[in-house]
Amino acid sequence: MMREFLPISRDDMKKRGWDELDFVYVIGDAYVDHPSFGPAIISRVLEAHGYKVGIISQPDWKNDQSVMALGVPRLGFLVSAGNMDSMVNHYTVSKKRRHQDAFTPGGVYGKRPDYAAVVYGNMIRRACPEKPIIVGGIEASLRRLGHYDYWSNKIRRSLLIESSADLLLYGMGERSIVEVADALDSGIDVSDITWVAGSVFKSKKAEDFGEEAIMLPTFDEIAADKRKYAESFYIQYQNTDPFSGKRMIEKYGARMYVIQNPPAKPLSEQEMDDVYDLPYVRDYHPSYKALGGVPAIEEIKFSLVSNRGCFGGCGFCALTFHQGRIIQTRSHESIVKEAAALTKRKDFKGYIHDVGGPTANFRHPACKHQLKRGACPNKQCLFPKPCSQLQADHKDYVTLLRKLRALPGIKKVFIRSGIRFDYLLADKDKTFLKELCQYHISGQLKVAPEHVSDAVLDKMGKPHHEVYVDFTKQYKKMNQRLGMDQYLVPYLMSSHPGSELKDAVTLAEYIRDLGYMPEQVQDFYPTPSTLSTCMYYTGLDPRTMTPVYVPKDPHEKDMQRALIQYRDPKNYQLVKEALIKAGREDLIGFDSRCLIPPRPMHHGYGKAPAQNRNVRTNNAKNNSSRNGKFSSRNNSRKRTTENISRNTSTNRKKGSQSEKAHRRHE
């Protein structure tokens, strides 16, 4: 069966024999008809329920009439900023404009406005005031109530109000959008659609919406008082579960209320299969080919989504607010069917780049109670230690991966979504660890310990450092048992709330003992609706209401980041200043335990040229003999340094076909 894109023009509508659409979907991304893109899922789900949907991608936001290119829809307009929050898409953590946009044809920057969902909503309201506007997607989902906005450094109103929309749908939205569409199709006015789970609506009165509803602090209160904002945020955080979450009401001014219904229930396995079996073209629209295509497709073209949701509970992650903590999975049959279809594509080279989701090794709810009572509102599944009710079991995932490896035409199946190593350790059966090392990585495994200071990790909601050290030992032991020489590449984060200079120095010392300099460092980015962002803005941990140190000064943030990459000569002055300020002048000198010499030099630190590589190696060996407590030091420092350089630099030699595919995907 020939699969075709949804209409993007009047000519496309005529080819289908359509004079009118039921919904016009205005999106901030290029039109990519692939189930890794939210607008594609929502539009295909509506199509499957008999609705006619057309796409207006990246309209000219300086011309209101650009949103009317497909005419007036019968039922209403849908709006999404795209797969990312438009501000994260546009700006770095230092608030500098990015130069590329992977979700735009040719990677061109500037094809969507800042706060895109707000701008598009108001464009539609001016151009077509009589039709309903339903806004959704990640930008709307995380800004559904009053929220701290990092880029303007203030509390902003609910996006429902700012966008002039009638309804806001949060979360993944498949059930919610069909329920709303059916209500509109039956003639119900959009202002009367107040019951849909996973929706937010406006009202001039609050008393009609249940005695059990929670009255949050008013918008005026949270805008004026950081403590009130922290209190409001934590109430919301405790009501993100579809089974136990309550309706919440936020008052604006004298007579305006924004009312959030509880989240939609998780999809069953069959419902997940149905969503991913819809007739996606699985590519960007052909009109973009002349412009260079859409770069974002390369990351997911040959990847398979196996799950949704995450019970990891990282403080800096918005998944709790968007996908929720209850894991939803596709069946083996659905995933294998999709993989088999990939093998028939002309551009498929035999490498599946990923099988996972937010966290790859979560394939079932954390415990047997979650599908009946939901996730615990006041307790995490893995933090500070794995819950006694946790069901840590990788058998289903292992079986799925074996089926995929056995498919004709599959050379290698990578796991790239990220492995939750504390969950892996909680599983006493080491079969998954063995097969992960043996079949599913190529030379290196990227994991996210984020930091080594337990004080910082507590604020992040991550396991203590000793857990990561235990994992490195087990990973090394398993590779030795298999006769393989593979490495761990840790993702690290600087300047997270709770991180003082002394914590950043401790992290630098750990990196010294590992014998290499990370090439990727993430400075904490305060994105909407995360625990960590609440800490950043308020200086309070909303879980306990205790004060939290927050590194906000740009210069201190530069110092903390520089410490992680202390070997880079351009960071010398920042590192020296940081060590002096932290009272750690003992780390300035020529001893092998020192981070930097007393004055800038070319040897002993930094990215040494090839002829100086032996100096770094000898220093690493000295560190290894002096400090035996880190498991990574059990390897030869020379091998560690050379191997990491080989696997992360642009000068890495050509390897096997699987390694090439792995690098291309990175």
367 is in an annotated binding site: no
- In the numeric block, the tokens 């859409």 are attached to 294
- In the numeric block, the tokens 């009109």 are attached to 287
Beta pairing class for 283-284 and 32-33: antiparallel
- In the numeric block, the tokens 């996606």 are attached to 280
- Contact present, 180 and 134 (Cβ < 8 Å): yes
How far apart CA 43 and CA 576 sit, in angstroms, is 55
User: Which tokens is 650 given?
Assistant: 């642009």
The Cα-based distances of 170 to 26, 197, 201, 320 in angstroms read 17, 9, 11, 12
317 is in an annotated binding site: yes
User: Which tokens is 368 given?
Assistant: 């047997």
How far apart CA 542 and CA 533 sit, in angstroms, is 10
Spatial CA neighbour of 139 closest among 29, 9, 298 = 29
User: Which tokens is 159 given?
Assistant: 């996006």
- In the numeric block, the tokens 């291309």 are attached to 664
Sign of CA dihedral 267, 269, 274, 276: positive
- Contact present, 106 and 118 (Cβ < 8 Å): no
H helix intervals, 525-612: 531-538, 554-564, 572-581
Which three-class secondary structure string do you get for 231-265? HHHHHHHCCCCCCCCCCEEEEECCCEEEEECCCCC
In the 8-state DSSP scheme, what is residue 60? -
Beta pairing class for 412-413 and 76-80: unpaired
314 is in an annotated binding site: yes
Q: Where are the beta strands (DSSP E) in 327-413?
A: 328-329, 351-352, 354-356, 412-413
Q: Classify residue 583 by burial, with Cβ atoms within 10 Å: 0-12, 13-18, 19+.
A: exposed
User: Which tokens is 325 given?
Assistant: 């903590």
Helix, strand, coil % (nearest 5) of the chain?
A: 40, 15, 45
What is the full DSSP assignment across 124-183? HHHH-TTS-EEEESHHHHTTSSSEEETTTTEEE--HHHHTT-SEEE-SS-HHHHHHHHHH
Number of helices (H), then strands (E), belonging to the chain: the values are 26, 24
- Contact present, 492 and 412 (Cβ < 8 Å): no
How far apart CA 350 and CA 346 sit, in angstroms, is 11
Q: Where are the beta strands (DSSP E) in 319-464?
A: 328-329, 351-352, 354-356, 412-413, 444-450
Spatial CA neighbour of 252 closest among 221, 273, 274 = 221
Strand partners, 257: 203, 251
- In the numeric block, the tokens 């829809």 are attached to 73
The Cα-based distances of 166 to 134, 141, 192, 371, 469 in angstroms read 6, 14, 10, 31, 51
Q: Which residues are annotated as a binding site for [4Fe-4S] cluster?
A: 310, 314, 317
Which residues define the annotated binding site? 310, 314, 317
